[in-house]
Structure 1
């Protein structure tokens, strides 16, 4: 999937670099604070790859439904604990229809 670039868009590697750069800056500037970040499924998935130490090729192993919640506990700059992934219970059972169309 990485070589594919939508005209005027970014490659998956570009999304990864941009997203990880921003999240590292947020962590650096807000250490110890609870932070809420809202994003699209592609950004969520590259960040999950980053936090789990996975290659970007693992991007397609995740589904992110619309409005899902992921909780990542930042222990320190290089240590993360994934607490929750793709939770949509707050949406009242529409998870199946939101995750089906996800990347």
Structure 2
């Protein structure tokens, strides 16, 4: 992990945070895949923003089949887990708020 990720509040050894991050990435990627193009662009941008907080140290996403409502609930849970583990609350809350608004 680069120093930038640590400055942004990503705990370097938190399993809870890493699990939350992987889940959040997967939810955003799936939302981008299942959404109409005009909305998918926003979810792709949010995924890039999330990855940028971590200086490119990104976990793999995993296949997920779910509807929008479930994905947003899982995303919220993942973001809450990341914040509880010491993540950048302001940046993560912004990603969550924009996701809900799209």
TM bracket (short chain): 0.3 to 0.5
Higher strand content, 1 or 2: 1
TM-score with structure 2 length normalisation? 0.33
Higher helix content, 1 or 2: 2
TM-score with structure 1 length normalisation? 0.33
Q: Which has the higher contact order (CA 8 A, sep 6+)?
A: 2
